[in-house]
Amino acid sequence: MALDSLSERMASAARELQQQHDPGATLRSAAHLTLTNLSGCDSVGISIVHRDGRVETDACTDDRAARADQLQYEIGEGPCLDAVWQEQTTHTPDLMLDARWPRWGPQVAAETGLRSVLAFQLFTTEDTLGALNVYSSQVDAFTLEDREDGLALAAHVAIAVSSAARIQQLNQAMDTRTVIAQATGIVMERFDLDGARAFQVLSRLSSRSERKLRDVAAEVVETRRFPDPDQAEPSGVGGGRRA
């Protein structure tokens, strides 16, 4: 059955996004869902704010969207940046004539042939994640309905991306705890130490080698050897099991 109403299309998009548990896969799905759900849309890019403050395009449907986004980062102006940092929705019917972006608009039109744009801020109650950037090669391509649909879709995208990121962080934390526990067990067996002292050996290796504890533990688990045998000498932490 065809999905004609806004509610049906948004519900279908939300279900598809929630099936993804990896942020990258979620973003790629979101880009293609936007392309198929907004009638005036020709290209989509999704810009994400990274922890160091950089804004990068982490998913796009084609090279035109990627280039349009990249020019914004290089020039320092454009609807994507406005949506990320200022406006919930940014719209222009003609990039060539918009005085807000006097350098970006004409250049992106000349290089890519894109002429109109919608940009939606991706945010949750806790964070601003980035922007959903929707481009068209037609002047004045987006209707009021497209803007409303895009705003609803952007809300679903933000929730799905945030959820996928939390799941990934949880899985990574669980993996980290597992590998550290495995390495601790190897140290306990090798040097006849209790758990606390074996963990101290790993921590000491991490500190002296200026590497993350997880990386040191992973090397111990994989190779059954220590990165530097002298640093793993248990005498520095007391040696032997307690009586």
The answer to whether the beta carbons of residues 156 and 20 sit under 8 Å apart is no
The continuous run of DSSP H or E covering 170 comes out as helix 144-191
Task: Please give the pLDDT value at position 164.
Answer: 60
Task: Please give the pLDDT value at position 9.
Answer: 58
Task: Please give the pLDDT value at position 186.
Answer: 82
The structural domains of the chain, ordered by start, are 6-166 (3.30.450.40), 170-237 (1.10.10)
The continuous run of DSSP H or E covering 46 comes out as strand 43-49
DSSP-assigned letter for residue 124: -
Task: Please give the pLDDT value at position 175.
Answer: 61
Task: Please give the pLDDT value at position 239.
Answer: 46
Burial of 76 from C-beta contacts in 10 A (0-12 / 13-18 / 19+): exposed
Task: Please give the pLDDT value at position 171.
Answer: 52
Task: Please give the pLDDT value at position 118.
Answer: 94
The continuous run of DSSP H or E covering 84 comes out as helix 79-85
Structure tokens at 169: 């962080």
pLDDT tens string, the chain, 243 residues long: the values are 344 555 555 556 555 555 555 777 888 888 888 898 888 899 999 998 887 888 999 899 999 999 999 999 999 999 999 988 888 899 999 999 999 999 999 999 999 999 999 999 988 656 667 899 999 999 999 998 888 888 888 888 888 776 665 544 555 556 677 777 777 888 887 788 888 888 888 888 888 878 887 788 888 878 877 655 454 455 544 444 443
